[in-house]
Amino acid sequence: MHQFTIGVEEEYQIIDVETRDLVSHVSKIIEGGKATLLENLKHEMHESVIEMETGICNNIQEVKAELTDLRKRLIKVAHENNLRVSGGGTHPFSRWQDNPITKADRYDKIVQDLGDVARSNLIFGLHVHIGIPNREEGIRIQNVVRYFLPHLYALSTNSPFWVGSKTGFKSYRQEVFAKFPRTGIPSYFSSVAEFDAYINLMIKTGTIDNAKKIWWDLRVHPFYPTIEFRICDMPLRVEETVCIAAIMQCLVAKIYKLHEQNLSFRSYRRLLLNENKWRASKDGIHAQLIDFGKETSVPYSDLLHELLAFIDDVVDDLGCRKEVEYAWEIMKNGTGADRQLAVYEQTGDLKSVVDYMISETEYGITYE
């Protein structure tokens, strides 16, 4: 079997210990983490965001070990600077207008091109790279995986609040990001040549300067031999990130296995997939999603069963059954969004929600 390597990028909120608001101290974190984290920390567009990335991992156990170790170090550096870090797709009450943009040519260009659409993009995602055999196969995998994006997304929903408002969504992050061009579920591409022709047209016409300005929910990466999942909110617990990454790895491996056997999976139009994405954004794991085969709406849990049954024959080969089945723990306990909302119902206080998010981010992590 091809080695479906895994790389994970997590975007954390940098939070002031007194106000519980976002604070623009990414440089303090990066400076403080120089000795132990230099290769793994990156600036993002806003100064209140820190991105942490793993190396290339061979299996999900390596992912969990590295994520846990990196998170431990990150939390320690934050505490030493009287700061906290947190998961979550949005901060419950911080105003994007109060959060400065990181000074860098790349971000200056994005703000110049997109104005307040870029400035207001104060959101936090989970990006997972899975190694692919080649780009042609990557496009074939991308075409099929699109169907399962709402299934994955629902499990990660973790942004019910925006600028102090209870939004009515389990993931408002995607609604914020949708204002960007070239986002959402990608179109079907018949070949790498067709995909490359699209990219080249965008560059030739001055629409983008490189293929990284394609911000779809899923993309064959322009520079690495990976397919990158970009749809998910940043979870709270390490176990949630690990579970979602394991399911992504299994999906890529399963679809490759089908293609090796000259089999495939029915492709659905983006118009239909977008309906399920919207439902997942609104209601998360409590959504009724459309079963396109049966032409009816079914509880999300039915489609999660379908997904896990679909990948079942590769789970043991990849050694990740325990991590994949953690999805049922998420179903039982609720996603980050469900749990944030429960705290808000009990307290009526968004600062208490932030406290909960910080404690969940530190759950199971000893950092002294």
Residue 368 lies in a domain: no
Interatomic CA distance for residues 60 and 54, integer angstroms: 12
Pairwise CA distance, residues 64 & 57, whole Å: 10
Q: Which residues of 293-307 are buried (b: 16+ CB within 10 A; e: fewer)?
A: eeeeeeebeebbeeb
SS3 state of residue 299: strand
The enclosing domain of 28 has a CATH number of 3.30.590.20
**Residues in the chain, pLDDT under 50:** none
In a domain, 205, yes or no: yes
Q: What is the pLDDT of residue 38?
A: 64
Count of domains forming the chain: 1
Q: Which residues does 89 contact at the CB level (< 8 Å), separation at least 6? A: 123, 124, 125, 156, 157, 158, 159, 171, 172, 173, 233, 234, 336
Query: What pLDDT does residue 28 have?
Result: 76
Q: What is the pLDDT of residues 144-199, one digit of tens each?
A: 999 999 999 999 999 999 999 999 999 999 999 888 889 899 999 999 999 999 99
pTM, two decimals, is: 0.95
In a domain, 367, yes or no: no
Interval 100-158: pLDDT, tens: 777 777 777 888 888 888 777 789 999 999 999 999 999 999 999 999 999 999 999 99
pLDDT at residue 84, rounded to an integer: 93
pLDDT of residue 204: 95
Tell me the three state secondary structure of residue 165: strand
Residue 366, domain member (yes or no): no
Q: Does residue 256 lie within any of the structural domains? A: yes
Residue numbers of the domain that contains 257: 6-361
Beta strands 6-16; 161-162: pairing state: unpaired
Q: Flag whether 323 is in a domain.
A: yes
Contact indicator for 324, 311 with CB cutoff of 8 Å: yes
The verdict on residue 253 lying in a domain is: yes
In a domain, 1, yes or no: no
From first CA to last CA, the distance across the chain in angstroms is: 41
